[in-house]
Amino acid sequence: RFQRFGATISQYFAIVLEKVSRMIINLIAPEDHFFISIPGQIHNDSIYMPHFK
């Protein structure tokens, strides 16, 4: 009964996922693309800094 409904959700999910993945390049890109500098918020936090040594 709901087979078409599931297919529709799957199609729209794939479309939205593609659009979001294209937006990531422009919106969520790091300022330092080569990761040379570490932000102060991470550098001064003992929880995250061990992963960047």
Q: How far apart are the two ends of the chain, measured CA to CA in Å?
A: 55
The amino acid at residue 34 is F
Enter the pTM of the model.
0.43
**How many domains would you assign to the chain?**
1
Range of the domain at 21: 3-52
* Sole residue written with tokens 């993945």: 21
Rounded mean pLDDT, 43-49: 80
Predicted confidence (pLDDT) per residue in 12-29, tens digit: 999 999 998 888 877 777
Calpha distance 43→49 (Å, rounded): 5
3-class DSSP state of 15: helix
Residue 22: CA count within 13 A, CB half-sphere: 5
